[in-house]
Amino acid sequence: MNVTFDYHFHGDLGLLTQRGGAEAIPVLKKALLDANPKVRWAAADMLGTLNDGSGLEQMGQDFKTFSSDQEHLEHALEVTRVLAEMSDISGYEFAADLATNGSSHGQRWRAAVVLAQIANTDKNTLQTMGRNPVAVLKIMADQEKHEGVFFVFIDQVHKILIDRSDMIEIFAIAKESKHHPTPPPGSRYRMAETFHSVAVRDKDKTWR
């Protein structure tokens, strides 16, 4: 569909990378210096998909800048997501805090996306570093009250998290949430029940 509708989440940079592959690297590297932070993290993200870590340094600088400014914490989470996709999980504590304590809906769902990505890191590495993103996602499954944030949380965990066992455990908690006790209109089942059922059904399948 992306090809048919000439669309990419990261706009022109994403399309350039999708079509040109490694030929897009010089343009992407130049975009790392763009004044618009969204362009910078799109460039770093696309470079990462080409196994080029050129964006790591700039993303590290952006994270320091945005995470120290209360008005730009969502920007910091977007940067943290890009870092996590490039196997840099230095933003774990930042995301773990905002997942449950974020003051805005955008902070909490973005933090969940970051944690789901970090959870794909080698488990021995996470244990050695004292990081447990799945535990934080379980807390969020139990405590998140906002319907929209809860939906994005469930949807993104299902799309991102590779370990089916972890996914099933998170959804098992979510489907019992006291904050979301009723099914959506027209459905017999609560949203998290449906996702839990799908995760259990697919537990022996290769992740996408």
| CA atoms in the 13 A half-sphere facing the CB of 200 | 11
Taking the CA atoms of residue 107, residue 129, residue 117 and residue 55 in that order, the dihedral angle to the nearest 10 degrees is 90
Residue 104 per-residue DSSP state: S
43 and 146, same structural domain? Answer: no
134 and 117, same structural domain? Answer: yes
Distance of CA 56 to the CA centre of its chain: 17
Burial of 197 (0-12, 13-18, 19+ CB in 10 A): middle
Number of Cβ atoms within 10 Å of the Cβ of 20: 13
103 and 50, same structural domain? Answer: no
201 and 173, same structural domain? Answer: yes
Question: What percent of the chain has pLDDT above 90?
Answer: 83
Q: Which domain holds residue 28?
A: 1-88
101 and 39, same structural domain? Answer: no
The domain tally of the chain equals 2
Burial of 192 (0-12, 13-18, 19+ CB in 10 A): buried
Report d(CA 134, CA 57) in Å as an integer: 27
User: For the CA atoms of the chain, what is the radius of gyration?
Assistant: 18
Boundary-marking domain end, from 58, 88, 118:
88
190 and 112, same structural domain? Answer: yes
202 and 134, same structural domain? Answer: yes
pTM: 0.90
Cα angle vertex 84, ends 83, 89, to 5°?
95
63 and 130, same structural domain? Answer: no
**pLDDT-based confidence at 19, cuts 50/70/90?**
confident
56 and 137, same structural domain? Answer: no
Closest by Cα among 197, 193, 167 to 180 = 193
Chain segment 112-133, per-residue pLDDT in tens: 999 999 999 999 999 999 999 9
101 and 64, same structural domain? Answer: no
